Structure 1
Amino acid sequence: MSEPSPTQRLLDATDIERSVATVLPGRRVVTSAPLSGGGFATVWSARLDDGADVVLKVAPRDDVRLLRYERDLIAAEGRYLRRLAAEAPEVRVPRVLHASPDLLVTERLPGRNLFEVQSGPAPVDDAPVRAAFGAELARVHRLTGDRFGYDAGRTSASTWSAAFLAMIDDLLDDAAEWQVETPAPAGRIRDLIVRHAGLLDSVRRPALLHFDGWDGNLLVADGRLTGFVDGERFLYGDPLLDFTSAALFRRIEDEPEHPFLQGYGGVRLDAPVLRRLSLYRLHLYLLMTVEMPSRRITREAQPDRYERLAELLDGELTELARPVPAPV
């Protein structure tokens, strides 16, 4: 078993019982167990004495170093889920039972995550699952924020280009502080973002985004999508940003028949869209590189991860150095 991330608290069943008794008075834990798969919060499942299955997400301790964008993530997920419950109740996300800066308690949706299912001895046909997730995100993206970027006083701006550049700057500052070697100098990365400001500002509406829709956050039962989880990294911006994790480590535009695209509908893969997708993959791969030491992942221990991300980043940097296509 791999060593937990420094951001994850070491808890036991007694801690879970105490938390449930405090925030859900009158309800008692019958059984509980930690859930694996994530690298930020500590996550446990519990069955209560009334038969309900719940999930508890516990924030890192106050003295743990975090990346800049990771501030207030547990409370952020509570806000995300509650907004969807209020304004898009048909979207299949967990119902919030308790939300505070340190602890989120939700119902547990049925199913196993798609990554586990596809890693098993009898993987399922995942096309219906991916198409259903595309349709779900299309509904989420109809909701709009007041600003681009993160909410509640975190990194944001009145334009998408300014917010996106600020998000990149946060990651580059984190890289410097954590002494992470990036595949290109910070100045070059930043200059490429600035060059594309006009293209980014063709996005005029700050859509509600999930950002972390990789297979590990899609729940599946009997070959169908039962919901999606881990909205803690949500932000407002270009809907295309959500297309990167939906085809992690791949270029979704190379798969025009990808079921996610079919489920989402109405996507025109023209030159400006392809360039924005490249920008968003740059952001994602940079984040995944910069977060390594904060998760106690060393380049020496996982050279394949670092080298793979470096190769992917280099490919996007090469693409972004080409002439900028005109917005349409």
Structure 2
Amino acid sequence: MESFTKTKLTTEQQNNLVGATFGSHVSINRSTELTGGYFNAAYDLLLSDGRAMILKIAPSDETDTLNYEQDIMSVEVTAMRLMKSKGTVPVPEVYAYDNSKEMISSEFFFMEKIVGQPYNEIKEELSLQQRISIEEELGRYSRLINEIPGERFGLFSASTLVKGNSWREVFKHLIINLLEDARRLKAEMPIPLENVEAEIISRLHVMDVVTEPRLIHWDLWDGNVFVREGRIVALIDWERALWGDPLMEYYFRYIENSEHFCRGYGNSFDSPNECARKKLYDLYIDLIYFIEYYSRKYDSQGHLKWARDNLLEGWKRFMN
């Protein structure tokens, strides 16, 4: 989808990055823009030496992003390198990362091209048994991710201000910052921000049981799960990784609620406290879907209507 946050590059600019990174003797034979993402720009490259790889470019510093999206490319690269070193979950290899902003005004990196298809693009074509197998496997991988402990709660980036000694404190900061984004971007909220903030804060005591920071991918929707021959071959887009509560993972949201995922994970998390935490995370993601529209400026009024209707439905669920 077209988004205001995407930093588009000409073929000449891409060639300059390739030459500076891999040597002046290497150039691009073919470049295809990848349009499935919503935030970064990305290109599928075939180089003159026969290598295929992905070039990913962050928004420029001048782009008005949400608070939690600061330093986001550094997060993605660091998280993928961490997972690659663990060897427990399939992730693309990062070939090179440049945050100098000397060649272009944005950070960028080159990574391995995964041979496979996003799960969301083939899901409906698969048999029930194939979908069950993939979602159970995703549950097992998510469990392995969430078993990695952190030293603190907060966003993955060491430079972020959103960190703290308790998960309750950190999640409160995430909420307040998001609502401040809504005010700054002049989002036309269908629910008064004061009501949203008050209702959320009144329920934050349920977070006190979360005492150990765990690695969370947080964006493992079907489009970020690459599949080949009925198996998961890569989990991508780690830029929203954080140290927090495993129940924040996407497949625990009401949107999916897959029993197969939970079976693979080994837990369905349905105690009263766990359900209360999941409702808070459900509303948080619904708020993001709506507020981010005003930052990304999608070329679709239909998307804004969907996000608004989705938030209103989410608010009803939250208040019941």
TM-score, length basis structure 1: 0.87
Among 184, 194, 206, the alignment partner of 1:199 is: 206
Instruction: State the match for 1:290 in structure 2.
Output: 291
Q: 1-side partners of 2:181 and 2:269: how far apart?
A: 35
Q: How many residues align?
A: 308
Q: Which residue of 2 aligns with 1:93?
A: 91
Q: What is the CA-CA distance between 1:199 and the residue it aligns to?
A: 1.3
Deviation at 1:37, TM superposition (A): 1.1
Contact 1:52 1:107 in 2 (8 A): no
Whichever residue aligns with residue 81 of structure 2, its letter is R
Shift, 1:309, TM fit: 1.6
CA distance in 1, matches of 2:60, 2:304: 29
CA distance in 2, matches of 1:251, 1:269: 15
Q: CA deviation at 1:107?
A: 0.6
- 2: CA distance between counterparts of 1:132 and 1:183? 38
CA distances 1:100-139 after superposition (whole Å, capped 9, x unpaired): 33012111121011111136xx345322111111111111
Q: What is the CA–CA distance in structure 1 between the aligned matches of 2:200 and 2:303, rounded to whole Å?
A: 29
Task: Note closer, same or farther for the CA distance 1:126–1:247 as it changes in structure 2 (3 Å cut).
Answer: farther
2:221 paired with 1:221: no
Whether the 8 Å contact between 1:67 and 1:291 is mirrored in structure 2 is: yes
Residue identity over aligned pairs, in percent, reads 26
Contact 2:7 2:59 in 1 (8 A): yes
SS at match of 1:55: strand
The one of 138, 145, 153 aligned to 1:148? 153
Q: CA RMSD in A?
A: 2.0
1:34-49 counterparts in 2 under 5 A?
34-49=33-48
Once the two structures are superposed, the pairs formed by residues 292-311 of structure 1 within 5 Å of their partners are 292-297=293-298, 300-302=301-303, 304-311=305-312
Contact 1:75–1:100, Cα closer than 8 Å, also in 2: no
**In 1: Cα distance, 2:212 partner to 2:167 partner:** 9
Give the structure 1 partner of residue 104 of structure 2.
Answer: none
Equivalent position amino acid for 1:313 in 2: G
Q: Please identify runs of 4+ aligned residues in structure 1 that moved more than 3 A.
A: 122-125, 297-304
Compared with structure 1, are the counterparts of its residues 72 and 144 closer, same or farther at alpha carbon in structure 2 (3 Å cutoff)? same
Structure 2 residue 62 is the aligned partner of structure 1 residue 63:
yes
**2:15 is matched with which residue?**
17
Asked if structure 2 preserves the Cα contact closer than 8 Å seen for 1:113 and 1:219, the reply is yes
Give the corresponding residue for 1:76: 75
State the alpha-carbon separation in 2 of the partners of residues 53 and 128 from structure 1: 29
Q: What letter is aligned with 1:223?
A: G
SS in 2 for 1:226: strand
What residue identity is the alignment partner of 1:188? N
Please tell me the residue identity of whatever aligns with 1:297: Y
For residue 206 of structure 1, report the CA deviation from its aligned partner: 0.9
For structure 1, the residue ranges without an aligned partner over 5 or more in a row are: 320-328
Question: Gaps spanning 5+ residues in structure 2: where?
Answer: 100-106
| Structure 2 counterpart of 1:51 | 50
Aligned equivalents of 2:35, 2:133: Cα separation in 1: 25
Specify the code of the residue in structure 1 equivalent to 2:58: A
1-structure distance, mates of 2:313, 2:81: 35
Provide the C-alpha distance between the structure 1 equivalents of 2:76 and 2:266, rounded to a whole number of angstroms: 26
Query: Aligned residue for 1:171?
Result: 178
Give the CA deviation at 1:33: 0.9
Q: Which residue of 1 aligns with 2:246?
A: 239
Match of 1:276 in 2: 277
Instruction: Give, in whole Å, the separation in 2 of the partners of 1:198 and 1:108.
Output: 43
Distance in 1 separating the partners of 2:50 and 2:208: 49
CA distance in 2, matches of 1:8, 1:303: 18
Name the residue aligned to 1:325.
none
The equivalent of 1:212 in structure 2 is 219
Is the Cα–Cα contact under 8 Å of residues 43 and 55 in structure 1 kept in the other structure? yes
Structure 1 distance, partners of 2:312, 2:300, is 14
2:290–2:308 CA contact under 8 A, matched in 1: no
